[in-house]
Every structure is written in structure tokens, then in C-alpha cells.
Amino acid sequence: MAAIIETRHLTHIYNAGMPDATTALEDVSFAVEEGDFVGIIGSTGSGKSTLITHFNGILKPTSGQVLLDGKDIWAKGQDIRKVRFSVGLVFQYPEYQLFEETIYKDIAFGPKNMGLSEEEIDRRVRRAAAFTGLPEDYLERSPFELSGGQKRRVAIAGVLAMEPRVLVLDEPAAGLDPEGRDMILSQVKRYHKETGTTVLLVSHSMEDIAKYADKVLVMDQKNIAMYDRVDKVFARADELLALGLSVPQVTKIFLKLRQMGLDLPQDVYTVPWAVKTILEAKARKEAKGEGTTC
């Protein structure tokens, strides 16, 4: 499958040429295939946020390229405005960007700027609201009457209503309680499955990445340390820990069990997989007549 988003030797220097110049990304090259759900992790200062704000042209590379559908988004003749409609970016705490008097108008803001008909705008607003779990009778309410989690859903719906081909989310569940976090992320995953939209999710929660993503991009020291399927990345738990990152709790447990001499795989990263693995190990021991403990 062809890459929808790609970077080639991407470098970004803040305040280039000034005494306080700071390199945030250095020679970053990778590609995301259409339809992928990629989790992006890395310690503070690793370059995650700088990377994703290049995808829709908020930041321009100091050197290197960002490509959408194989075309440099900054090449002569390219319309950066169209790129921003194709690559939707949800910032941390997006509810702070709400400003319209009704939820409907806030969700409709992006589609209106795209010059769509009123009928198409209405269809998109209602579809995006449904995807984010907002009842239709909420649409004429003020967004400022809502809870923090509901405001977050309105802000995300505003990006979904533009129907971007690539959806980029920077810690979309930050600050929410576990129930609110699971609701937001499960809705994003459902949107991904039902529409085939490419999703890139920045998160500090290894459990969230393990549960929702298909691939993981690990940033470290301004570049990419790992980029592979979720199971293959979390199988390198020792390396992740050495980078100052965490791994899912269940992965830590299996690492400890392996250190105790138990014959268990090291790429277990979800609870259902852990249960299945333990039951299989137990069955193997019973078949060998070694008892029921594993």
C-alpha cells in the first residue's frame, strides 16, 4: 500500500541562525501507509509535537520534505490550505479553542471554511457528532455548558467534520478520567475502522497505545528510535525502558516472570493476550504432566 504521509530527511530548527537556535528534529525519514493507526511515543523533548505539526503545514521544515500522497506539501504550486483540510490536527486540550455560540456552529466552522454547501455541512456536522457520541439535541446548546470530556468531543467532532484523510491527535485524552479517556479513544478507533482514515495518535499512555494502535513510532533525541508493529516494539521492552519510556503494566509483569525463569513470550502487551498466553502455558505444562502452575 502506498504511503499517504512521508518525511524525507526532515530537520527542524527553532530560531535558526539565532544564538538560541534549537534543533528539535534531525534527519527524520519515515512513511505512514494509508489506513494505518500509528501510536507515537517518546519522552518530553523527543520531538513528537514538532513532528506532527509538520504534517499539515503548521511548521515548515528547516530542511528536508513532508509529503502527502507523494507530493511535497511545500513545493511550488501546492495549496497548503488544501493540505490542512486533508490532514486534521487535534491539539492537546482542544476544548480551549471552542468559541462559537452553539455546538452545531463550532463543529460546522471547518466545513464552512471549505466552501461546502449548507446541505453538505449539515450532513458532516451530524455525522461527526454521532461519531463522537454527542446527541443531536445537544447541537443547539452552548459548548460552554458542557463537561470537560464533552467539550473535548465537540472539538474533535469539529476536525472530523472536515473529513480529513489523515487524523492526527496530540494527547486527545489528556486530563480526562479513565472512563472519559476510554470513551474518547474508543470513538477514535471506531471512526478509524468505519472510515479507513489514517490516524496518528500521540500519547504518554503505553496502555492506550497497546490497545488502540497497530504500529508504534518511538521518538528519541530528535529522531526515530523504533518504528514497527505494536507487538514488535513492545517486545523490545528493555530498550524502551532504557530510553526512559514505560511499557504496558502487563508487559512489565511478563518481563518479571521471564526473569524468574518461566518460558513466556516477551511481546505480550494487552491483558486479553496475557490471559490467553498464560492459559496456553498452563495447558502445555498439564499435557507434559508437570502440574497446573505456570
Domain-wise residue ranges, the chain: 3-232, 248-289
Fold that domain 3-232 belongs to in CATH: Rossmann fold (3.40.50)
Q: What is the pTM of this model?
A: 0.85
Model pLDDT for residues 32-56, shown as the tens digit of each residue: 999 999 999 999 889 999 999 999 9
Are the C-beta atoms of residues 89 and 168 closer than 8 Å to each other?
Answer: yes
Nearest to 107 by CA among 84, 138, 80, 83: 138
Q: Which amino acid is at 195?
A: T
Identify the three-state secondary structure at position 77: coil
Confidence of residue 257 (pLDDT cuts 50, 70, 90): confident
What does the longest C-alpha to C-alpha distance in the chain come to?
71
Distance between CA atoms of residues 164 and 199, nearest Å: 10
Concatenating the DSSP letter of every residue in 172-200 gives TTTT--HHHHHHHHHHHHHHHHHH--EEE
Least confident of 92-101, 242-251, 255-264: 255-264
196, pLDDT greater than 90: yes
Chain centroid to Cα 87, Å, comes to: 13
Q: Phi, psi (5° rounding) for residue 184?
A: -60, -50
Nearest to 42 by CA among 227, 276, 265: 227
More confident residue, 221 or 292: 221
Model pLDDT for residues 120-152, shown as the tens digit of each residue: 999 999 999 999 999 999 999 999 999 888 899
**What pairing do the DSSP bridges indicate for beta strands 215-220 and 37-42?**
parallel
Bridge partners, 228 (sequence order):
216
Quick one: CA dihedral 190, 4, 41, 160, positive or negative? Answer: negative
Give me 205's grid cell: 499512555
Model pLDDT for residues 59-89, shown as the tens digit of each residue: 999 999 999 999 999 999 889 999 999 999 9
Identify the three-state secondary structure at position 243: coil
1, pLDDT greater than 70: no
Q: Which amino acid is at 113?
A: N
Nearest to 57 by CA among 35, 75, 32: 75
Mean pLDDT, range 211-237, rounded to an integer: 93
Give me 70's grid cell: 507523494
Cα–Cα distances in angstroms (integers) from residue 237 to residues 115, 179, 254, in the given order: 48, 27, 10
Please list the alpha-helical segments (H only) found in the chain: 48-52, 80-86, 103-113, 118-131, 148-160, 178-195, 206-212, 230-234, 237-242, 249-259, 271-287
